[in-house]
Structures are given as C-alpha cells and as structure tokens.
Amino acid sequence: MAAATGDDRTSLGTGRALMRAAVFLDRDGTLIEERGYLDRLDLLTLFPWTPDALRLLNRAGFATVVVTNQSAIGRGIVDEPFLAAVHDALDARLALGNAKIDRYYFCPHHPEAILEAYRHSCRCRKPGPGMIEQACRDMNIDPQRSVMVGDRWLDVATGQAAGTRTVLVRTGHGAHEEAHAPEDGRADAILNNLMEAVGWILRTCSRW
Ligand SMILES: [Mg+2]
Ligand SMILES: [Zn+2]
C-alpha cells in the first residue's frame, strides 16, 4: 500500500469523478420513426437497431436520457397520460432487447399553445437547454462528458447550449437537415443512424 505523501489527489475533482456521463436522445426520428404528431400507439415504430444501440450504451455505463419536445400536449392533440403510455410501450419493446431508457424529459409547452396552462416561452423547449440541465441536476450528470444525439439542428443546438458533444443522425428529418444546414450548423459528427452514433460515442467518449 502506498504511503501517504501529502499529495492527496482524491480530494481534487472527486465530485466530478462521481458524476455520470449520459447520452441524451431525441425521440422522434432518432429512436423511433418520425410520425409528425404521434397520437396513436400503433404508430410507435422503433428503428430496428434501437434496442441494440441502447443496450450497448447501458452496458458501457452511460445514462440514457430522452429529451423530447411535445408541444402536441399544449396543442391539445395528446395529453400527458397518453405520452406516458407511449413511453411505457417504448420501454416494453426495449426491454425485449434487454435495453432501457433511464429517464424521459419532455417539454409540453409552446408559446402559442391552445391550452393556457402550457402556453409560455420556457427554457425546456429545445433548443433551450432546460431539459438537459434538469437531468444533469437530477441524475448527477456531467454535460461535458455527455453527448446529445438527434435528427435536427435544433437537437444539436440544444446539446451545444448545455455543453455536451453533439451527433446529428440522418434518420427522421436528418438527411434533409444535413442538406439544409444553417450557417452555424456544426455537429461533432453526422452519421447515418443511432447505431453509428453509438459506435462513434463508444470510440470517442470515455464515460469517466
Ligand atoms: Mg427528432
Ligand atoms: Zn417547456
């Protein structure tokens, strides 16, 4: 056993070392097929690689956190119990592949929501960083060691606002988004789908 030298490194950065790395995941077009407003459970379709991709992240020790804009709630198209049912159904399909989402965050708001309770400008609606910031507080996540994956520049901007690395995937709106990049649109990687994104994350990002 090493003698005490007075060089107590454990006191430095201990808090940070205990923080987790996460992969923040957009839902529609990234984990599941883009359906516009998903308002029926039978419209829920996972990409074929989604369970495998998530299981790899689970096993590598990354927290898996969905961050999804759900203004359909504020617009009165779906309600919160229905959204919970969609996420329960997604969890059930993932469980068949021994994969899991650790936590879901959603923003039900919209500045022009029909339902008054949801009508305001908020920090949680992407590209605002509010959902990622809340998850970091709730789950002791270090954004700097984390990655945001999504199919829109809005997802990339969200990750950048929260201080994560970013991957744009070409599923959902992604191929169109890639072809119509805004001037400041820059992701750390642009890849075909979530499985490729996970390969990049496992090669590039240490969870510690
Ligand atoms: Mg999307
Ligand atoms: Zn919100």
Q: Taking ligand 2, which is a single-atom ion, which protein residues have CB atoms under 5 Å away? A: 107, 109, 122, 124-125
- Going from the Cα of 172 to the center of ligand 1, the distance in angstroms, rounded, reads 6
- Going from the Cα of 193 to the center of ligand 1, the distance in angstroms, rounded, reads 12
pTM over 0.85: yes
14-27 burial code (b ≥16 CB/10 A, e <16): eeeeebbbbbbbbb
- Going from the Cα of 143 to the center of ligand 2, the distance in angstroms, rounded, reads 20
Q: Considering every ligand atom, which ligand is closest to the CA of 74?
A: 2
Instruction: Give the per-residue pLDDT at 18.
Output: 84
Instruction: Give the per-residue pLDDT at 5.
Output: 42
Instruction: Give the per-residue pLDDT at 6.
Output: 41
- Going from the Cα of 35 to the center of ligand 1, the distance in angstroms, rounded, reads 10
Q: Considering every ligand atom, which ligand is closest to the CA of 29?
A: 1
Q: Considering every ligand atom, which ligand is closest to the CA of 168?
A: 1
- Going from the Cα of 116 to the center of ligand 2, the distance in angstroms, rounded, reads 13
pLDDT tens digits in sequence order for the chain, 208 residues long? 444 444 444 444 556 668 999 999 999 999 999 998 999 999 999 999 999 999 999 999 999 999 999 999 999 999 999 999 999 999 999 999 999 999 999 999 999 999 999 999 999 999 999 999 999 999 999 999 999 999 999 999 999 999 999 999 999 999 999 999 999 899 999 999 999 999 999 999 875 5
Task: Tell the residue number behind the tokens 């510690």, with chain if given.
Answer: 208
Q: Considering every ligand atom, which ligand is closest to the CA of 126?
A: 2
Q: Considering every ligand atom, which ligand is closest to the CA of 127?
A: 2
